[in-house]
């Protein structure tokens, strides 16, 4: 067995050397393939993101197209909804139904997925599952109903790695029916956290044949806050602000902080937490959302930061003026409350918390057909792309890979011909799209999600279930004591967690990792509720 592990380790090192040396050629090589256009000729400049209120029965026209945008000293070609990055923030009342007339003026087939919204299955935006792809120049009409208060977002579900990375994302802010769902505040601000990969002053190219950076995902080296590299928000002294943060990055997790400000975590993906909490930092992985309230008592400049074990990075800034605001909201902010509505929404599900696990899935990696669990991560690993650095088979500290600095060369050269990320049903041994779970409408399904610590490259995976909401019951067997409805959960490398999914929405749905390159590398499966 030891000799077998050694042989596998040697073969993996050989693959790494071949790839980094540039001699790897596949039958459908992404690395040597055609890239998408980078021309900015005739393009309009990206606009600021508008906030648009839609009422029940309203119709809204949304077009995906090209814009030019200045990043650093260079103007680059990007994608935008209605000419803005992020796209329009659509503010909609809970329970409302709106029509979105979508037109695709991009260079790739497209759809719109309303992430986290428990809409009718026909409008989920999954090509060849719920609708046909919207080809360049074509249109599609979406009818969307919003049953849950909270913050959601819309984005494509075709070549996600290219389309979302280049700017196709926008928020839905669903205002609650109940006036006590959220605290009273002075302002609400929706913010996207993102990054983008630049090389030689230009956006690193995307290949038409498929995704590169398929191993770890495309980590960016330029940070974006709501599409800006120099994001600035002006507020008044004493203002209480509710922030809706969404992570739209391809892979990067953000450990969010606002330096010098007190942060109160009040909500997550699909609404309010049971109990409000003071936080120094809040972890938000790709596609997750966090609802945070902050009061600014002193005038001056406050940095929006990403705090990781290796570094603290400034993402943007909040400038607080000397002009003061006085309101009862300041007193409300000082109190941590139990959210009775959130607790009541969860109460009917508590009797299912201790039930036996219904399904078990494992998250793992097949590299060059080598299978899963390719190495003992304590003895053998794939070296970094440039030599040295962290071993490829090792579990990162805390189960989270904050960037690809240790394996940047290998990651950049990896593509979807080499790498297959897998979700494996532990009971049937079926993988990815061969999985076809079936549930009855109204079932409460307990799923254990295991992130394989023995895979060729253990790393975190944010797992998203379409069309349903779920509760995270425990992490590594430790019960979670402050619950919130979610649609995406981060599973750290080498760990497991149990979720209880409320299968309340009929249709054929997808579940997948929300690292965009991992979607392209196969990490998805379908399930049916009827």
Maximum Cα–Cα distance across the chain: 72
Residue 180 lies in a domain: no
What CATH number does the domain containing 75 carry?
Answer: 2.60.40.420
* Mean pLDDT value across residues 122-131: 96
For residue 261, the tally of other CB atoms under 10 A from its CB is 18
Residue 36 lies in a domain: no
Same domain, 141 and 25: no
Which DSSP string corresponds to 450-519? Answer: EE-TTSSS---EEEEESS-EEEEEEETTEEPSS---BSEEEE-TT-EEEEEEEE-S-EEEEEEE-SHHHH
Percent of the chain with pLDDT over 70: 89
Same domain, 331 and 404: no
Residue 344 lies in a domain: no
* Mean pLDDT value across residues 403-416: 92
Q: Which of 159, 18, 60, 65 is nearest to 517 (CA)?
A: 159
* Mean pLDDT value across residues 385-396: 57
Q: pLDDT class for 391, splitting at 50, 70, 90?
A: low
Residue 463 lies in a domain: yes
Same domain, 415 and 505: yes
pLDDT in tens, 201-227: 999 999 998 899 999 999 999 999 999
For residue 198, the tally of other CB atoms under 10 A from its CB is 16
pLDDT computed for residue 389 by the predictor: 39
| pLDDT greater than 90 at residue 19 | no
Indicate the burial class of 468 (C-beta count within 10 angstroms; 0-12, 13-18, 19 or more): buried
Q: How far apart are CA 461 and CA 366, in angstroms?
A: 15
Average predicted confidence (pLDDT) for the chain: 90
| pLDDT greater than 50 at residue 422 | yes
8 Å CB contact between 488 and 431: no
Rg (CA), the chain: 23
Indicate the number of domains in the chain.
Answer: 3
Q: Before 86, cis peptide (omega within 30)?
A: yes
Percent of the chain with pLDDT over 90: 86
Residue 76 lies in a domain: yes
8 Å CB contact between 46 and 68: yes
Same domain, 356 and 330: no
Residue 159 lies in a domain: yes
Instruction: Locate 175 and state its tokens.
Output: 């205002």
Q: pLDDT class for 32, splitting at 50, 70, 90?
A: low
Q: Which of 100, 121, 122 is nearest to 54 (CA)?
A: 100
pLDDT in tens, 322-351: 999 888 999 999 999 999 999 999 999 999
pLDDT computed for residue 167 by the predictor: 98
Q: How far apart are CA 194 and CA 304, in angstroms?
A: 13
pLDDT computed for residue 369 by the predictor: 53
Residue 45 lies in a domain: no
pLDDT in tens, 278-337: 999 999 999 999 999 999 999 999 999 999 999 999 999 999 999 998 889 999 999 999
Q: How far apart are CA 486 and CA 483, in angstroms?
A: 9
Same domain, 268 and 171: no
- Of the three residues 175, 206, 241, the one that is the final residue of a domain is 175
Same domain, 466 and 496: yes
Instruction: Locate 227 and state its tokens.
Output: 């599409």
Same domain, 461 and 499: yes
DSSP 342: H
pTM beyond 0.75: the answer is yes
Residue 40 lies in a domain: no
pLDDT computed for residue 327 by the predictor: 85
- Of the three residues 175, 197, 231, the one that is the final residue of a domain is 175
Range of the domain at 499: 2-29+352-529
pLDDT in tens, 428-477: 999 999 999 999 999 999 999 999 999 999 999 999 999 999 999 999 99
* Mean pLDDT value across residues 149-175: 97
8 Å CB contact between 240 and 293: yes
Sheet strands side by side (includes 89-93) = 51-54, 89-93, 170-175, 150-155, 113-115
Same domain, 159 and 306: no
* Mean pLDDT value across residues 486-498: 98
Which has the minimum average pLDDT: 83-97, 262-276, 366-380?
366-380
Measured torsion, CA atoms of residues 374, 375, 380, 382, in degrees rounded to the nearest 10: 30
Same domain, 16 and 60: no
* Mean pLDDT value across residues 91-106: 98
- Of the three residues 339, 363, 386, the one that is the final residue of a domain is 339
Alpha helices in 156-253 (DSSP H): 160-163
Same domain, 204 and 227: yes
* Mean pLDDT value across residues 4-28: 37
Instruction: Locate 456 and state its tokens.
Output: 């060729």
pLDDT computed for residue 394 by the predictor: 87
Same domain, 119 and 7: no
| pLDDT greater than 80 at residue 382 | no
Cα four-point dihedral sign 463, 467, 472, 477: negative
Same domain, 402 and 467: yes
């Amino acid at each position: 067995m030891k000799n077998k592990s050694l042989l596998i380790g040697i073969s993996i090192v050989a693959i790494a050397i071949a790839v980094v040396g540039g001699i790897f050629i596949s039958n459908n090589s992404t690395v040597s393939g055609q890239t998408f256009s980078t021309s900015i000729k005739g393009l309009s400049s990206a606009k600021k993101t508008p906030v648009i209120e839609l009422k029940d029965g309203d119709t809204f026209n949304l077009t995906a197209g090209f814009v030019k945008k200045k990043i650093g000293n260079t103007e680059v070609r990007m994608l935008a909804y209605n000419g803005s990055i992020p796209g329009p923030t659509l503010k909609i009342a809970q329970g409302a139904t709106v029509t979105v007339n979508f037109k695709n003026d991009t260079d790739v087939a497209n759809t719109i997925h309303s992430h986290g919204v428990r809409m009718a299955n026909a409008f989920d935006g999954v090509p060849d599952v719920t609708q046909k792809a919207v080809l360049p120049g074509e249109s599609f009409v979406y009818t969307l109903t919003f049953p849950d208060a909270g913050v959601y977002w819309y984005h494509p579900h075709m070549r996600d790695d290219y389309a979302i990375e280049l700017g196709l994302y926008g928020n839905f802010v669903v205002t609650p029916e109940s006036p006590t769902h959220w605290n009273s505040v002075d302002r609400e601000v929706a913010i996207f956290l993102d990054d983008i990969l630049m090389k030689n002053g230009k956006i690193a190219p995307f290949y038409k044949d498929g995704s590169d950076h398929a191993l770890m995902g495309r980590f960016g080296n330029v940070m974006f806050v709501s599409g800006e590299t120099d994001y600035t928000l002006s507020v008044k002294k004493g203002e209480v602000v509710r922030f809706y943060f969404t992570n739209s990055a391809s892979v990067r997790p953000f450990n969010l902080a606002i330096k010098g400000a007190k942060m109160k975590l009040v909500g997550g993906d699909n609404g309010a937490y049971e109990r409000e909490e003071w936080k120094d930092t809040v972890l938000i992985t790709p596609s997750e959302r966090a609802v945070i309230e902050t009061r600014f008592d002193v005038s001056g400049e406050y940095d929006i930061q990403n705090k990781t074990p290796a570094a603290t990075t400034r993402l943007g800034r909040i400038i607080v003026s000397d002009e003061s605001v006085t309101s009862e909201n300041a007193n409300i902010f000082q109190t941590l409350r139990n959210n009775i509505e959130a607790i009541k929404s969860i109460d009917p599900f508590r009797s299912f918390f201790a039930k036996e696990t219904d399904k078990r899935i494992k998250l793992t990696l097949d590299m060059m057909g080598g299978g899963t669990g390719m190495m003992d991560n304590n003895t053998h690993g794939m070296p970094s792309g440039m030599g040295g650095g962290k071993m490829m088979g090792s579990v990162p500290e805390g189960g989270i890979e904050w960037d690809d600095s240790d394996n940047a060369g290998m990651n950049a050269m990896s593509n979807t011909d080499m790498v297959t990320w897998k979700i494996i049903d532990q009971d049937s041994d079926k993988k990815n799209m061969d999985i076809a779970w079936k549930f009855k409408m109204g079932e409460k399904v307990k799923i254990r999600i295991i992130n394989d610590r023995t895979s060729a490259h253990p790393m975190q995976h944010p797992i998203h279930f379409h069309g349903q909401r779920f509760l995270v019951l425990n992490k590594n067997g430790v019960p979670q004591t402050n619950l919130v409805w979610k649609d995406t959960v981060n599973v750290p490398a080498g760990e497991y967690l149990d979720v209880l999914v409320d299968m309340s929405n009929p249709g054929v749905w997808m579940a997948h990792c929300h690292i965009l390159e991992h979607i392209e590398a196969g990490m998805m499966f379908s399930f049916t509720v009827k």
